[in-house]
């Protein structure tokens, strides 16, 4: 087999991987392992890091990649990185449930935000964007539950304030809007000028 050049275009690398080229797999691993490991480190909480190593998470992600790569369509490299981000986050989440039990927090809107945030970007840019998404997740997790819920419903699920009031039991749409405004002010304070 011929050695895969590190500058090989993404579609060519993907085609070689799907054809079973071992050199292509080595190149793929060399190219994306640092990104997956960085994502794993971002999502592993300090307490979980004592039980789970980012290397173990990364190896688990690459096992999933081996199984899912052939049947998953990737229009461009950004979609692959978004998929790797999602798989990595799920691995960390599963490890957290094993260590700490289920948390019962709504995470589906954040899944969509991560995919939207990383789609279409080069790997380095996607990793940087993933850091921003992680900062947002940490800031959201620090909000009081009612404020976090209203932000998720308004900004991620795109519900109107009337729908939010109905879903959360708030008396009026205006009270839902005021709660959202307070939550956004608190988030802005936590995230800083960036």
Helices of type H across 119-160: 123-141, 145-151
C-alpha torsion 15→28→65→118, nearest 10: -100
pLDDT in tens, 58-84: 888 888 777 777 666 777 788 888 888
Cα–Cα distance, 157 to 160 (Å, whole number): 9
Cα–Cα distance, 14 to 19 (Å, whole number): 9
The pLDDT of residue 175: 93
Choice among 25-29, 113-117, 144-148, 166-170 with the minimum mean pLDDT:
113-117
Averaged pLDDT for residues 141-158: 85
Cα–Cα distance, 115 to 121 (Å, whole number): 11
Q: Which stretches does DSSP call E strand in 26-100?
A: none
> Which residue from 52, 144, 42, 146 is spatially nearest to 97, judged by alpha carbons?
52
> Which residue from 142, 150, 138 is spatially nearest to 182, judged by alpha carbons?
150
pLDDT in tens, 158-188: 889 999 999 889 999 999 999 999 988 888 8
3-state secondary structure of 67: helix
CB 119 within 8 A of CB 78: yes
Percent pLDDT > 70 in the chain is 74
The pLDDT of residue 129: 64
Is the CATH code 1.10.1740.10 the one for domain 1-107? yes
- Domain boundaries, given as residue ranges, for the chain: 1-107
Cα–Cα distance, 74 to 169 (Å, whole number): 42
pTM for this structure?
A: 0.48
């Amino acid at each position: 087999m011929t050695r895969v050049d590190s500058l090989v275009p993404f579609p060519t690398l993907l085609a070689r991987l799907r054809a079973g080229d071992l050199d292509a797999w080595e190149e793929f691993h060399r190219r994306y392992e640092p990104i997956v490991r960085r994502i794993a480190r971002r999502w592993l909480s300090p307490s979980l890091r004592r039980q789970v190593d980012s290397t173990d998470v990364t190896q688990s992600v690459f096992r999933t990649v081996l199984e899912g790569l052939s049947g998953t369509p990737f229009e461009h490299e950004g979609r692959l990185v978004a998929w790797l981000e999602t798989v990595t986050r799920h691995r960390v989440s599963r490890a957290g449930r094993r260590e700490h039990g289920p948390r019962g927090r709504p995470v589906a809107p954040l899944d969509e935000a991560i995919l939207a945030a990383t789609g279409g970007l080069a790997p380095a840019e996607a990793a940087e964007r993933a850091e921003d998404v992680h900062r947002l997740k940490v800031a959201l997790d620090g909000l009081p539950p009612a404020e976090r819920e209203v932000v998720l419903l308004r900004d991620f699920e795109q519900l109107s304030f009337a729908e939010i009031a109905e879903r959360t039991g708030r008396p009026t749409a205006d009270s839902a809007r005021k709660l959202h405004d307070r939550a956004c002010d608190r988030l802005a304070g936590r995230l800083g000028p960036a």
